[in-house]
């Protein structure tokens, strides 16, 4: 028998629902994702740390879950909100039901929620804090709790999702941990694997499919904790540095921003999502919180370097403020065609570029997969892409 539940937002709006898995009370920012498939990838994306996710597609759970379609080692969302949960998956790859998957992770999932009304409300009013409970069903009490919760602004969530220790990614999996303390041997770090290019990936909440796409382009990858100093990264002598996606407010991750600032001009750099924001801040820019964020697999973006439009997968609630970057050598490379916000940067003199969206998809279209080839080109030449790549 499903337990009654209540979702209360900080502005006083309340949505009744019922739990199809789990019980208890959760406070987090409430956001929505417009992808029609890929709920397991959404659940395991570290960029959703500190958030409960509402899926706009109404039927969730119909193809179950499996051990391959994960983007990290565990479920990252605080809670999962759907219109209708389907408890009988039908897919040859299915290993277990979504209910069993969430139950093992200890994550609360609710259905019977008017996800269309919730999504429209968040689009009009903006993303906001909320509390979901199966225990306290008093609307006034839950609204008060939502108002008192900390939210995401000013909170460093990267330290909660980054790897505890450096590791090598080989043949599509975590192959071995690395010891980078004291007088480590840089050449020993890169031993093994078949790739030509040595890439140091700073883990701010990295998705596994990013690592798969990098490896598919012939890269040996050392994944490093977000706290790894620039001096250690440079001692590894990589051919390039990758800055990963991750959760929360980029302006709160000051340690990573300073690391990136020290790396500018030292090695070719490619950043995705939070990595893009880290580069924007390191270049002297500022970030701001979007009204309701970009989360889904259908965001139209124009590549200003080619004039082509691509449909992209996105998951972020903050954005780089393009006019705040005073360096005239920084160029905008990609533009969101829905709200005209910044989606990509490059530098005319420093070998770096970054995008706000997810070219590795998973879930989503593969229109932007070419960006991994641009990274290879930049490592090959050691020169910036600038505005003429």
Q: Domain end: 91, 115, 148, which one?
A: 148
Domain boundary among 101, 116, 148: 148
Identify the pLDDT of residue 388.
44
pLDDT single digits (tens) 314-324: 999 999 999 99
61-102 pLDDT tens trace: 999 999 999 999 999 999 999 999 999 999 999 999 999 999
One domain, residues 312 and 284: yes
Tell whether 240 is covered by a domain: yes
Pair (102, 224) in one structural domain: no
Do residues 85 and 228 share a domain? no
Count of all residues that appear for the chain in the document: 389
Does residue 305 form part of some domain? yes
Kindly give the interhelix angle for 370-381 and 208-216, rounded to the nearest 10 degrees.
60
Backbone angles phi, psi at 18, to 5 degrees: -145, 145
pTM of the model: 0.95
Query: What's the farthest any 2 CA atoms get from each other in the chain?
Result: 63
CA distances (Å), origin 225, targets 13, 158, 243, 354? 39, 10, 11, 20
Asked whether the beta carbons of 302 and 309 are under 8 A apart, the reply is yes
Query: Residues 215, 353: one domain?
Result: yes
Quick one: 198 and 105 in the same domain? no
Here the CATH number for the domain that contains residue 139 is 3.50.30.20
Q: Give the CA distances from residue 107 to residues 7, 26, 104, 113, 323, in Å, rounded to whole numbers and listed in that order.
A: 15, 9, 8, 17, 40
pLDDT of residue 387: 41
User: How far apart are alpha carbons 44 and 177 in whole angstroms?
Assistant: 21
Query: Does residue 24 sit in the same domain as residue 49?
Result: yes
252: its two tokens: 């709160």
- CATH number, residue 314: 3.40.50.880
Catalytic residues: 273, 358, 360
pLDDT at 182: 77
Q: Are 293 and 317 in contact (CB under 8 A)?
A: yes
182 by DSSP, 3-state: which?
Answer: coil
Residue 177 shares a structural domain with residue 51: no
Pair 292, 264: CB distance under 8 Å: no
Contact criterion met (CB below 8 Å) for 71 and 247: no
Domain end residue (candidates: 118, 148, 178): 148
Predicted local distance difference test score (pLDDT) of residue 389? 41
Count of domains for the chain = 2
Residue 228: the pLDDT is 97
Cβ–Cβ < 8 Å for 63, 88: no
232 and 132 within one domain: no
Domain of 287 in residue numbering reads as 158-381
Residues 191 and 143 in one domain: no
Alpha helix (H) residue ranges in 250-297: 254-263, 274-282
Tell whether 37 and 121 lie within a shared domain.
yes
Q: Are residues 136 and 176 in the same domain?
A: no
- Does any domain span residue 387? no
Instruction: Please tell me the predicted confidence (pLDDT) of residue 1.
Output: 63
């Amino acid at each position: 028998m499903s337990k009654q539940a209540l979702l209360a937002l900080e502005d006083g709006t309340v949505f009744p629902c019922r739990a199809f898995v789990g019980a208890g009370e959760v406070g987090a920012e409430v956001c929505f994702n417009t992808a029609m498939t890929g709920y397991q990838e959404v659940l395991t994306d570290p960029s959703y740390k500190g958030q409960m996710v509402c899926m706009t597609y109404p039927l969730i759970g119909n193809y179950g879950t499996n051990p391959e379609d994960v983007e990290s080692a565990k479920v990252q969302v605080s809670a999962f909100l759907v219109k209708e949960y389907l408890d009988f998956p039908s897919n040859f790859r299915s290993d277990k039901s979504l209910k069993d998957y969430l139950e093992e992770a200890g994550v609360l999932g609710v259905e019977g929620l008017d996800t269309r009304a919730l999504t429209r409300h968040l689009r009009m009013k903006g993303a906001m804090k909320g509390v979901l409970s199966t225990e306290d069903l008093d609307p006034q009490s839950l609204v008060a709790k939502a108002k008192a919760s900390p939210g995401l602004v000013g909170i460093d969530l990267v330290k909660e999702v980054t790897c505890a220790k450096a590791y090598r990614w080989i043949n599509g999996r975590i192959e071995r941990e690395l010891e980078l303390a004291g007088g480590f041997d840089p050449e020993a770090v890169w031993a093994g694997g078949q790739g030509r290019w040595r890439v140091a990936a700073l883990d701010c909440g990295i998705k596994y499919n990013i690592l798969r796409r990098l490896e598919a382009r012939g890269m040996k990858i050392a994944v490093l904790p977000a706290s790894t100093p620039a001096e250690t990264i440079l001692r590894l002598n990589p051919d390039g540095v990758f800055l990963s996606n991750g959760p929360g407010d980029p302006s709160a991750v000051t340690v990573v921003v300073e690391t990136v600032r020290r790396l500018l001009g030292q090695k070719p750099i490619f950043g995705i999502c939070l990595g893009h924001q880290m580069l924007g801040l390191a270049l002297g820019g500022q970030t701001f919180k979007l009204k309701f964020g970009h989360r889904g697999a259908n965001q139209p973006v124009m590549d200003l370097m080619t004039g082509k439009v691509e449909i992209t997968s996105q998951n972020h609630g903050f954005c780089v403020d393009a006019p705040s970057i005073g360096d005239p050598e920084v160029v905008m490379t990609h533009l969101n065609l829905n709200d005209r916000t910044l989606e990509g940067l490059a530098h005319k003199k420093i070998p770096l570029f970054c995008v706000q969206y997810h070219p590795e998809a998973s879930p989503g279209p593969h229109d932007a997969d070419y960006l991994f080839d641009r990274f290879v080109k930049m490592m090959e030449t050691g020169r910036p892409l600038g505005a003429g790549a």
